[in-house]
Amino acid sequence: MLQERLIQTAIDQFGRFGFDGASTRAIARASGTAMSSITYHFGGKEGLYLACADYIAQKATEQNAQGYALMQQTADLDRSTAIEHCLAILDGFALTMLHPDSEGWARFIVREQQAPTEAFERLYGGMMKAPLEGFGRLLAIIRPDLPARERRALVMLMFGQALILRAGRASVCKALGVDSLGEREAKLLRSQLRANSLCILNGGNA
């Protein structure tokens, strides 16, 4: 489908060169179509950029659908089950960060994190807000001792453990002495993420 091909190409180009540096001519050429296709389908460069944000939010939500479902199941949940839900959610997010598709997404998202535009609002509303709030509700069951503001900070930092697997990929590989993350490294990192998170959820007691 031409629209999706344009979006996927644009995510890569915008992620590598930014909004100003990316060329619609180059995006169209790499997509095997004319520049007029961008105007026809998206109204221009800005429309294409926002469509990229919407696409990333949609695909990330689809990939993490199971985790999002767990965040909704908080009614009458006991503490141990809430902990397992949190661990499963974080593992699912880690798998997304380890997946090749997230490479281009990460470049795009990191640029928006550093210099937010309307695209960031779409990313946050489409793929971040609900999961962060849902995880926070689970955390409230597990760590009722924490004030709400501290819980929100903890949510961000816990997800950050998995985010580093993509946003800090070069450093992770360097630290592990490998050129890329294979199954062995992924298993190790996911196992350590679970152990770290379990310790945090238990207030420092593994």
pLDDT in tens, 123-142: 999 999 988 999 999 999 99
Q: At what angle do helices 2-21 and 35-42 cross, to 10 degrees?
A: 100
Whole-Å CA distances, 126 to 54, 62, 129, 131: 7, 11, 7, 10
What pLDDT, on the 0 to 100 scale, is given for residue 67?
Answer: 83
- Rounded to two decimals, the pTM is 0.88
What pLDDT, on the 0 to 100 scale, is given for residue 162?
Answer: 94
What pLDDT, on the 0 to 100 scale, is given for residue 164?
Answer: 94
Q: Domain 2-201, what architecture?
A: Orthogonal Bundle (1.10)
List the one residue out of 53, 166, 51 whose CA is nearest residue 120: 53
Q: Kindly list the averaged pLDDT for each block of 10 residues, start to end, along the chain of length 206.
A: 94 96 95 93 97 96 85 84 94 92 92 96 94 93 94 95 94 97 96 96 75
The CB density around residue 36, as the number of other CB atoms within 10 Å, is 9
Across 76-101, b (16+ Cβ under 10 Å) vs e yields: ebeeebbbebbbebbbbbbbbbbeee
